[in-house]
Amino acid sequence: MSCSVLGIGLAGFGTVGSGVWGILEEHGGLIESRSQGSAAMEVRKIAVRDLSKKREGGAPAELFTTNLMEVVEDPLVEIVVELIGGTEVAFNLIAAALKVGKPVVTGNKALLAERGAELFAISKETNTPIYFEAAVAGGIPIIKALQQSLVGNQIESIAGIINGTSNYILQRMTEAGLGYPEALKEAKDLGYAEADETLDVNGWDAAHKAILLGSIAHGFLINYKNVYVRGIEKVTPLDIKFASDLGYVVKLLSLVIANKDGRVEIRTQPSFLSKTHILASVHGVFNAVAIKGDHSGESLFYGRGAGQGPTASSVVSDLVEAARISETNMGFLPYKEHGSLVDIDDTATSYYVRFSVTDRPGVIADIASVLAKHKIGISGTHSPVDADNPDADFVEMVFLLHSCPFGRLKQALAEVENLDCLTSRPVVFRIETL
């Protein structure tokens, strides 16, 4: 690699790509000074789909190409930045760059979570690093914190709100009493949700990020197919109201927890969280990650989880790391061949369970007897009267349950569903005590 000005190739020049260009143009001299001359950089090739599209940023027209592989093949490009998204084309681009010895910077969380094993194998074989700070939590330097600042710790737990779209939607449902469709529309109108919001609201955007954090913290590649994920699509204003009445808020939480037996628990789902917990105060599109190390204790990382500036800032941070490459600075590589995940049925928390039941005597006793049969304790019940419909034939009955394995709860609820008093399937939320 050149020891003077490093050539950068950008694959993609959308929101983030143009943001990277802007930072390098505005702060190139500052970056070079802070890195003591080791990170002087200039963009030498930009690959896009359509040359005729009007673009912000002011990059010279001669830098643009529609041939994606030119950012790899151009001899003046020494570091490749992948910002096109998706999995198949991005995989081929990154693999090609690694095979010719060009370090890669990417923000592609889905690709790394689903096909990272293949890419990290190529990275190891070619001794060429992949950097991906921008893949998790936008401008929050969470990857570097795990790899560098907390390197002397066993990571006991990671708890994060790492999808801003879902967090905004849940907040609006909480504060304004909006239904899910109305809150989603508002998020789209404000530009917080993509035209296709699927990965944001079904939990997988956050889950991809949690998989990367778990792999870094525990050293083995986590198979996304074994990760438990639930989104916010079925969260209702009723459950949000009950949560508030009971002293909780509903948040889409991603958790990575180390068990004492060496297995790792990893899951993403909407959960009840005490209003007094610091993560409960994370509002809007902001992200936050709480990490507990065995020696460091708890650390909180908070900031904007998406957007041009924060994400581009993380890309530039990785570019500086890539510019300082050495044999001892290889980015992330798995350091364990194998690791074990906790089966979701073996994970245990307390629970909120809401039953829609016919309004007749003995309902509580019927449900409680089934729960007792499965050795599940009840810490409280909640059955508010519907002031708008006091003569309804059915009522909402909430049970707060003591901690038990999720598999046991599922067995009990399957039996409860056979009772003739239920009018619909039970609604379940975990109550997290982080």
DSSP string, 144-203: HIIIIITTTS-EEEEEEE--HHHHHHHHHHHHS---HHHHHHHHHHTTSS-SS-HHHHSS
Q: Is the pLDDT of residue 100 over 70?
A: yes
Question: In angstroms, rounded to a whole number, what is the distance separating the alpha carbons of residues 357 and 335?
Answer: 52
Q: Which stretch of 14-28, 93-107, 288-302 has the lowest confidence by average pLDDT?
A: 14-28
Query: In the predicted model, what is the mean pLDDT of residues 55-79?
Result: 91
- Using alpha carbons only, how large is the chain's radius of gyration in Å? 24
CB 325 within 8 A of CB 118: no
Cβ–Cβ < 8 Å for 300, 278: yes
CA angle 249, 258, 352 (to 5 degrees): 30
Instruction: Tally Cβ neighbours within 10 Å of residue 380.
Output: 10
pLDDT value of position 386: 57
Considering 109, 209, 251, 292, which one is annotated as catalytic?
209
Confidence (pLDDT) at 76: 95
Residue 186 banded pLDDT, cuts 50, 70, 90 = very high
Helical (H) or strand (E) element with 97: helix 88-99
User: pLDDT band at 325, cuts 50/70/90?
Assistant: low
Task: Supply the pLDDT for residue 89.
Answer: 95
Active site residue 209: yes
CB 323 within 8 A of CB 39: yes
pLDDT band at 335 (very low <50, low <70, confident <90, very high): confident
3-state SS assignment for residue 140? coil
Which of 163-172, 188-197, 381-390 is most confident?
163-172
Total structural domains within the chain: 3
Among 117, 135, 153, the domain-final residue is 135
Let me know whether 165 and 271 are in one domain. Answer: yes
pLDDT score recorded for residue 327: 43
Confidence label for 384 from pLDDT (cuts 50, 70 and 90)? low
Calculate mean pLDDT across residues 399-413: 97
Lowest average pLDDT, out of 10-14, 40-44, 108-112, 325-329, goes to: 325-329
pLDDT score, position 58: 82
- Residue 311 lies inside a defined structural domain of this protein: no
Q: Are 248 and 273 in contact (CB under 8 A)?
A: yes
Q: What is the pLDDT of residues 310-322, one digit of tens each?
A: 889 999 998 988 8
Number of H helices, E strands in the chain: 13, 16
Q: What is the pTM of this model?
A: 0.89
Cα angle: 4, vertex 40, 105; to 5 degrees = 110
Domain termination residue (choose one: 303, 327, 356):
303
Give the least confident one: 220-229, 252-261, 357-366.
Answer: 357-366
Q: What is the pLDDT of residue 309?
A: 87
Instruction: Examine the domain organization and report whether 276 and 295 are in the same domain.
Output: yes
Domain boundary pick from 250, 282, 303 = 303
Residue carrying structure tokens 């560098």:
148
Residue 126 sits in the same domain as residue 209: no
Mean of all residue pLDDT scores within the chain = 91
Q: Clarify whether residues 62 and 89 are in a common domain.
A: yes
Coil, helix or strand at residue 62 = helix
Instruction: Please tell me whether residues 161 and 86 are part of one structural domain.
Output: no
Same domain, 116 and 63: yes
Q: How far is CA 164 from CA 66, 114, 171, 201, 347, in A?
A: 32, 21, 10, 10, 26
Q: What percent of the chain has pLDDT over 90?
A: 74
Whether 211 shows a pLDDT value over 80: the answer reads yes
- Are residues 157 and 129 part of one domain? no
For every residue of 333-398, which 3-state class applies, written as one string?
CCCCCCCCECCHHHCEEEEEEEEEEECCCCHHHHHHHHHHHCCCCEEEEECCCCCCCCCCCEEEEE
- Mean pLDDT of the 364-383 span: 94
Please give the residue range of the domain that contains residue 158: 142-303
Whichever domain contains 409, its CATH number is 3.30.70.260
- pLDDT higher than 50, residue 403: yes
Give residue 21's pLDDT. 93
Residues 66 and 189 in one domain: no
Predicted pLDDT of residue 331: 65
pLDDT at residue 137 tops 60? yes
116-133 pLDDT per residue, tens: 999 999 999 999 999 999
CATH code: domain of residue 285: 3.30.360.10
* pLDDT value for 392: 63
Q: Does some domain include residue 313?
A: no
pLDDT of res. 385: 56
